Chain A
Amino acid sequence: MVSFFAKRFGALILTMLIVSFLVFITFEFSPGDVARNALGPFATEVQLEKYRQEFGLNRPFMARYLSWLGVAPNHKGEISGLLQGNFGYSTLWKTQVNTFVWDRILNTALLAGVAFAVIAPLSIILGVAAGMREGSLLDRVVSVLSAITTSIPEFAMGAFLVTIFVVGFRILPGTAPLETGGGGWSIASQLVLPVATLTAYYLGYLVRMVRASMVEVMTRPYIRTAVLKGLTFRGVVMKHAIRNALITPFTAILLQLNFLFTSVVVVETVFGFPGFGRMLVEAALYKDVLTVETATLFAVFVVVITQVIGDLSYMLLNPRIRFS
């Protein structure tokens, strides 16, 4: 067990290092000037040069990378970087990354968490219900709806839902700025449409996966044996089918957490949600490399951690799998 976690932790650190270097080098060689972005289109060369000097942008690439990591002095001669808990200065937001990134991460965690809490049980219920009687009316309805919702892009689904519930029925707020002042909409009501959009998009895929697994399990000999032993259909499904049918999709369901966390940019943009994804895109477009680095490392962290949790859960569901 200790060896398992040590290996995973080592892999996590190595992945973060590689990703951070790749992000740094990508930004280094992508077009766009940080100073120009910060000072605007009308800044003179003198002003640009002054800005570059002030933020140490003229230093060699590796020197900047190592000082950001916190293993070499920065342009002020200080060792103050990631290892010391300093994520650096955001050229877009013109403040330390630490001061705003956590708020954005928490907002997205809230959105992703609520969406996951809806998607996970719903996908299991619908997938099992569809898969336990393959070819039934319920199965066909669920399958067709799953295919439809999954094939509609999030931005389109968001626009449809806004048109129906905001413009048409006027029963929900059109955006989710997480502010309760305007129109008296609660935070909970603001989350409804973003969560519904995420649910519609991610649910179909999971439902089809659970359904397929369920269909396969229902054809297994031990299910036939259970039926022949005289167990009720409900008993067969509940006692023998569900647990086995969930082993394979369980990891996929857990991985939705990191998909939700790292892929919510479209929903956050459509609904004006002040989250992690919108922040990441805005920073990337602005070439705000240190904000992108911080966000990317956090995304890597979430991905690796959810994978570890997925592995552990998989082992709990399937005793044949061991830490080795």
Chain B
Amino acid sequence: MTRNLKEIHSYLPTLATQLAEGKVSRREFLRTSTLLGLSAASAYAMVGLPDQGIASKAYAATGGTVRMSMRVQPIESPHTYSWIQDSMMSRNVIEYLTLTGSDNVTRPWLCEKWEASDDLKVWTLHLRQDVKWSNGEPFVADHVIWNIKRCLDPAVGSSVLGLMKGYMMNDAGDALWDANAVEKVDDHTVRLNARAAQLAVPEHFFHYPFPMMHPSSEGKFPGIGSIGTGWAEIVEYELGKKCVVKKKPGYWHGDGALDSVEYIDHGDDPAAAVAALTSGQVDGIWQVEATQLAAVRKLSHVTLYEATTAQTAVARMQPIHDTWKDPRVRKAMRLAIDTPKVLQVAYLGLGEPAEHHHVAPVHPEYAKLPFMAQDIEGAKKLLADAGLPNGFETELFCNADQDWEPRAANAMAEMWKQIGVNVKVTVLPGAQYWEIWDKETAPFAFTTWTHRPLGVMVLGLAYRTGVPWNESKWSNAKFDELLSQAEGTLDVEKRREVVEEIEILMQEEGPIVQPLWRSVFAAMDKKVQGFQAHPTQYVFPWDWSLA
């Protein structure tokens, strides 16, 4: 077994030993071993568990239709999707190279397996040979290369570019760093030759704007008639109203059990979706708001699913402004917050209090520090040391789209008053908020961040010097150095040691106040089998059946 593991990746035997010695948890083993190319089934077998991340294919019955309440939005340009729900309908038709299951473990999907070099710079993707497009063509390496290059073309505008820029693009970010960066080995093998070590390549291939499209599509996805490799085809699509996907035979993963799935648009009011679920007009809601939980719990025919996630929101302070320049002021803002109380007030206690460093307990490299509890006196002292004994006044911008965010912002504003900091909370409609979220015109703003499977992924996206999504404009050489070190460290224990330093640095000097990690919820009629709540709220209807 050890020899076999070593053939997959040189680090796997060490990881297996660490598992046996109890130095890494089962979850950490699953995550890291699968990232290094071990199949999820093998990884689960090694920890003595059945594969839990994807539903069983043993259907209770076949046939039938499941109806979901979901916005039916424009789906025409998958590589530039801006929101997760954009991809919900198209993922029935166009699929991803990998799939991160509800257990936060990433598995091969359109690729059969992958291999990573010891230095994590060379990733070899072996594609499945039994996959065919709906037009009958086989799925081959040229198609994958076309998709990767298209998503990395700045002119296309895909957010994939932001994820892969650091290790696939040149310094200017306008071209691949090397002509051979994306290499065709043979018809079913593609190799990425990265300029920098990157642990999360398989995760990146499951980024929602990164589906594999047929090159003849030129990146357009009209819905009805679109070419794909998925289990179904879109047979009806009415913007803002309804989308119907219907099973097609011969799916490489085994035919789905359902005949069709219908997505019904009930608008933005979450109460409407719950009313539809109550009266049986839909069988499920992909996202249940916290305010609707009490109503959903009363529905005897419905199961409420919860996923623990790394979804959060952070009040980021831009140290480029005088108010936030002094790290003592930023730390004082953190110490003023009673995070368990904010969690209770803003999100009914459904999640975990956060610790102001943006690494979640669900992340494998999370290092547990002494809890950073509210310390009003300590915060006042820091402010006094920073020359602000009487506090100051400032403005916090907040997004109105999710109702828990203004509640959290207002709860924190009340707590900041205790240290003499008067914060005016300005709640903006989403459209306006997203215009200023990363701008210097908003020195203090409360931004939501979605779940990412690895802690280093979000740290790299949000806090590395100069990256596009560094909304806080924070720049810390020590942090950058530690983060690069963590990203290139396979050993979870060693990576956790590095991340621990990062967490401490974030708590002491970082640019954020982070009140909570929130759980997410989905609801499904009990007759629907095979549904699993996903931390990023993706749904996989090809695994569902009706009881």
Contact = CB atoms under 8 A, between A and B. Distances in A.
A, B bound: yes
A211 interface: no
Secondary structure call for the B interface: loop
Given A182-B283, A272-B266, A274-B265, A50 B157 contact: yes
Given A170-B279, A179-B242, A181-B262, A272 B431 contact: no
Nearest to A38: B82
Given A32-B432, A182-B282, A93 B269 contact: no
B431 A175 contact: no
A183 B267 contact: no
B435 A32 contact: yes
Contacts of B438: 41
B82 A41 contact: yes
Contacts of A31: 432, 435
B232 to A, nearest CB: 16
Contacts of B295: 167
B239 interface: yes
Contact of B437 (A41, A46, A183): A41
Contacts of A274: 240-241, 265
Contact of A174 (B81, B154, B281, B434): B281
B369 interface: no
A31 B282 CA distance: 37
Interface in A266-294: 268-272, 274, 278-279, 282, 285-287
Contacts of A46: 154
Interface in A208-249: none
A248 B274 CA distance: 43
Contacts of B82: 39-43
B65 interface: yes
Contacts of A36: 431, 434-435
B74 A42 contact: no
Contacts of B371: none
A286 B431 contact: yes
B302 to A, nearest CB: 13
A272 B267 contact: yes
A47 B268 CA distance: 27
B488 interface: no
Given A42-B469, A94-B74, A95-B239, A32 B431 contact: yes
B461 to A, nearest CB: 9
B241 A42 contact: no
A271 B155 contact: no
Given A42-B159, A94-B76, A162 B275 contact: yes
Contacts of A175: 266, 272-273, 275-276, 279, 281
Interface string B69-110: 100001011001111000000000000000000000000000
B239 A100 contact: yes
Interface in B251-301: 262, 264-269, 271-283, 295, 298
B429 interface: yes
Contacts of A278: 267
Size band of the interface chain B makes with A: 35 or more
B264 A40 contact: no
A177 B281 contact: yes
Nearest to B161: A44
Given A36-B434, A37-B431, A177-B276, A270 B264 contact: no
A78 to B, nearest CB: 22
B108 to A, nearest CB: 27
Contacts of A93: 74, 239-240
Among A42, A44, A268, A287, the one with the most B-chain Cβ atoms within 10 Å of its Cβ is A42
A183 B154 contact: no
A95 B279 CA distance: 33
B133 to A, nearest CB: 25
Contacts of B277: 174
B272 A272 contact: yes
Contacts of B282: 182
A47 B79 CA distance: 13
B121 interface: no
Among B82, B154, B298, the one with the most A-chain Cβ atoms within 10 Å of its Cβ is B82
Interface in A89-134: 93-95, 99-100, 103-104
Given A172-B279, A183-B279, A185-B279, A269 B74 contact: no
A177 B74 CA distance: 18
Interface string A123-163: 00000000000000000000000000000000000010010
A178 interface: yes
A33 B295 CA distance: 37
Given A95-B239, A166-B279, A271-B272, A43 B157 contact: yes
A269 B272 contact: yes
Among A39, A177, A271, the one with the most B-chain Cβ atoms within 10 Å of its Cβ is A177
B340 interface: no
A39 B157 contact: yes
A261 B309 CA distance: 43
A44 B468 contact: yes
A173 interface: yes
A173 B268 CA distance: 18
B240 A279 contact: yes
A181 B431 contact: no
Given A31-B435, A94-B76, A174 B157 contact: no
Given A94-B76, A175-B276, A181-B65, A40 B159 contact: yes
Contacts of B276: 173-175, 177, 182, 272
A274 B81 CA distance: 23
A205 B413 CA distance: 43
A116 B81 CA distance: 41
Contacts of A104: 240
Interface in B131-183: 154-155, 157, 159, 162
Nearest to B468: A44
B321 to A, nearest CB: 21
Nearest to B281: A182
Nearest to A173: B279
Contacts of B162: 42
B67 interface: yes
Interface in A47-76: 47, 50-51
B157 A173 contact: no
Contacts of A287: 431
Among B74, B266, B469, the one with the most A-chain Cβ atoms within 10 Å of its Cβ is B266
Contacts of A179: 241-242, 262, 264, 281
Contacts of A270: 269, 271-272
A177 B280 contact: no
Nearest to A159: B271
Interface string B434-450: 11011000000000000
Contacts of B435: 31-33, 36-37
Given A42-B469, A44-B468, A50-B157, A272 B265 contact: yes
**Closest CB pairs A-B (n = 8):** A40-B82, A174-B275, A272-B266, A183-B280, A182-B281, A272-B272, A41-B434, A94-B74
28 contacts: A31-B432, A32-B429, A32-B435, A39-B82, A40-B81, A40-B434, A41-B434, A41-B438, A42-B82, A42-B469, A94-B77, A159-B271, A166-B275, A167-B278, A173-B276, A174-B275, A174-B277, A175-B281, A177-B242, A177-B276, A178-B241, A179-B281, A181-B65, A182-B264, A183-B280, A271-B275, A274-B241, A287-B431
Interface of A: 31-33, 36-37, 39-44, 46-47, 50-51, 93-95, 99-100, 103-104, 159, 162, 166-167, 170, 172-175, 177-179, 181-183, 185, 268-272, 274, 278-279, 282, 285-287
Given A93-B74, A167-B278, 9 more contacts: A37-B434, A41-B434, A47-B154, A95-B74, A174-B277, A271-B275, A272-B269, A272-B275, A285-B431
